[in-house]
Amino acid sequence: MKNQVLVRRYTQGLVHALKDDNEYDRLSSQLREFLDFQSRQKELSEVFSFPFIPTSRKLEIMRAILDKMKLGDKTERFLLLLVEKGRGALLPDILDMLPDLWNEEKGIATFEVSSMVSLSDAQKGKLAEKLEKLEQRKVFLKYRIDPELIGGLSIRKGNIVYDASIRGNLEKLKEKICEG
């Protein structure tokens, strides 16, 4: 739970530092590029997470890497901040949360849609249209496949879950039977 609070705090700070969609796209792309690079360099991940290496040495290593990668100023400052504060391990979670908070900042509601199979473009469009009517604002939908769903959809917005899946209906039926 503490990590989620930290992830949200760092992500919000990053979002507030961005001016527009172009800067958001550029920064998120550069952060992903760095994360991909880091994931291919196992030793590098270990260096940044090893507590006995002084922060000054970690910053030195990070600056050398950033000099070669030629990322934008904000991206570099953010990565250096994470290393300085010993929060480099939060980067994957920050990148996961970044689109949600960016959309929230722009007044767009984000929903995570889970289904057993991929939805067609027509189904996605219809779902987006219905959710926009429900929310009375633009929506952004993130899709994922959940093989545990028997059929139907599970739609999540923050802590609210709309479960229109067969599995969810079976769970409700089970609860009713157990209640008597």
Residue 43's domain is classified under what CATH number? 1.10.520
Q: Are residues 11 and 29 in the same domain?
A: yes
Note down the domain range covering 53.
Answer: 2-103
Q: Are residues 98 and 113 in the same domain?
A: no
Q: What is the mean pLDDT of residues 140-144?
A: 90
Q: Are residues 111 and 172 in the same domain?
A: yes
Q: Are residues 168 and 118 in the same domain?
A: yes
pLDDT at 149: 79
Q: Are residues 91 and 119 in the same domain?
A: no
Reported as a pLDDT band with limits 50, 70 and 90, residue 2 is low
Rounded distance, CA 65 to CA 67, Å? 5
Boundary of a domain, candidates 85, 103, 121:
103
pLDDT at 32: 96
- Residue-wise pLDDT for 93-108, tens only, equals 999 999 989 998 999 9
Whole-model pTM: value is: 0.75
Q: Are residues 69 and 133 in the same domain?
A: no
Q: pLDDT at residue 58 above 70?
A: yes
Q: Are residues 94 and 111 in the same domain?
A: no
Q: Are 118 and 145 in contact (CB under 8 A)?
A: yes
Residue of 124 and 149 predicted with greater confidence:
124
Q: How many domains does the chain have?
A: 2
- Residue-wise pLDDT for 9-45, tens only, equals 999 999 999 999 999 999 999 999 999 999 898 888 7
Pick the closest to residue 164 from 178, 180, 140, 146 (CA basis): 146
Reported as a pLDDT band with limits 50, 70 and 90, residue 180 is low
